[in-house]
Amino acid sequence: MLIVQKYGGTSVANAERVFNVAKRVKSYYDEGNSVIVVVSAQGDTTDDLIEKAKEINDKPSKREMDVLLSTGEQISMSLLAMALEKLGAPVISLTGWQAGMLTNSNHGNARIKKIDSERILRELDQSKIVIVAGFQGINKYDDITTLGRGGSDTSAVALAAAVGADLCQIYTDVRGVFTTDPRIVPNASKLDDISFDEMVELASLGANVLHNRSVELAKKFNIELEVLSSLEYERGTIVKGVKQVEKMLVRGVARDNDVARITIKNLDDEPGAAFKLFSLLAKKNINVDIILQTLGSDGKQDISFTVPESSLESAVETLNDNLSEFGAEKILFDKNVSKVSIVGAGMASNPGVAAKMFEALYSANINILMISTSEIKISVLVEQSLAEAAVREIHDKFGLADL
Ligand code: ASP
Ligand code: MG
């Protein structure tokens, strides 16, 4: 079998863990498999590097940030290769560019355009274990790029697609995908399997197990993923196409604190207002999520929407520069909000689900600031200090504990 394994930062956090990973990799190799391993930076390395940059320059160019951040994965890949050498296994480590990871030039959040897997395949042919630095690639100018926080998952899935892997395992520090964050709800249940669509939603709603783009890619190329712990020997959660997935109305509850709400007061209520507003933000690559527009009166209306906290400053700046264009008065913003969402493919045809979620919030006296729904999810915006309580109430209400 051709296997791609990805190990996250906690799985390679120190020498002991690196050896632990090396042993597991070797055991797959010794069974006769071809193994490609994608690694993340050790522990908090990426955060530490960001801090280091700040000590020098609080607004470094994105290009140089990528040069810096890509070093984290380079440390892991070489250490893991050394551990495998020590265990007597033939191994080679490759950076993103050596591995042929070609991306666009959106530094800090680059997309993989193509993987030129020739070098990797050549090394596999020579019976080597190939370790690849996750999270990084190279653009057409030969500059180093990174894929966005958590991007190593995406490196792994893209590689699995490029080489036609039979199995793609994502090793992490939890046993799989849970019905909600076990740190918030200790008796949350591990799911045996989950569909791509549900996982895309959970991942992008802050479930923090998988990078959401990795799941989108897995769906696109129909690559079954297994999410499992590198610290145990136990089956994880299979993420796959929809067919045999167990039918449950609601599969999980997610919370996302990385949300800020922006409100634009009194902008012109006329055709094109929303277009002008949101195309400005799109040009700055700012992702807008929940949108709420009030009823217009006297030719004016308010629009509220949410953006990731990291985009808040840039969004507010852009909007303030263009306020007069919308005839708007002022911009308000609030970082102390969280998005709490339920996800489940089975909820589309079940009108009672939303009511049940709102009832859970009502019984905990939690006010809903904004609501958005799609076929397989319902999200509400609540005050950040109430978000964990909201998750607990909702998780409980849908009977997701101890499944
Ligand atoms: N090291 C990068 C990060 O911390 C990428 C990853 O871990 O997937 O975001
Ligand atoms: Mg991760």
Shortest CA distance to 262 belongs to which of 221, 310, 316? 316
What's the gap in Å between 355 CA and the centre of ligand 2? 33
User: Which domains are assigned to the chain?
Assistant: 2-173 (3.40.1160.10)
- Tens digit of each residue's pLDDT (9 = 90 or more) over 72-82: 999 999 999 99
- Ligand 1 and 119: CB distance under 6 A: no
What is the rounded distance in angstroms from the CA atom of residue 200 to the CA atom of residue 202?
6
Among protein residues, the one whose CA lies closest to atom 1 of ligand 1: 41
Q: Which ligand is nearest to the CA of 40?
A: 1
3-state helix, strand, coil in the chain (%, to 5): 40, 25, 35
- More confidently predicted of 252 and 208: 252
Q: Tell me, what amino acid is at 213?
A: R
Q: What is the pLDDT of residues 314-334, one digit of tens each?
A: 999 999 999 888 888 889 999
CA of 8 to the centre of ligand 1 (A): 8
* Residue 41 pLDDT level (bands cut at 50, 70, 90): very high
* DSSP letter assigned to residue 373: E
Helix 309-321 and helix 273-283: axis angle, to 10°?
120
Ligand 1 center to 247 CA (angstroms): 33
Whole-prediction pTM value?
Answer: 0.85
Give me the chain's average pLDDT, please.
94
Q: Whose CA is nearest to atom 9 of ligand 1?
A: 149
Angle, CA 354 vertex, CA 351 and CA 359 arms, to 5°: 125
Range of weakest confidence among 106-115, 147-156, 240-249: 240-249
Q: Which of 47-56, 246-255, 271-280, 336-345 has the lowest mean pLDDT?
A: 246-255
Q: What percent of the chain has pLDDT over 70?
A: 98
DSSP 211: -
pLDDT, tens digit, for every residue of 44-61?
999 999 999 999 999 999
Report how far residue 91's alpha carbon sits from residue 160's, in angstroms, rounded to the nearest whole number: 18
Residue nearest to atom 4 of ligand 1 (CA): 46
Is the pLDDT at 269 greater than 80, yes or no? yes
The per-residue pLDDT for 247 is 61
In terms of C-beta density within 10 A (0-12 exposed, 13-18 middle, 19 or more buried), how is residue 381 classed?
Answer: buried
- Whether 108 is in the pocket of ligand 1, judged by its Cβ within 6 Å, is no
Q: pLDDT tens digits, residue range 85-112? A: 999 999 999 999 999 999 999 999 999 9
Instruction: Tell me how far the alpha carbon of residue 265 lies from the centroid of ligand 1, in angstroms.
Output: 38
Give me the residues paired with residue 228 across strands.
171
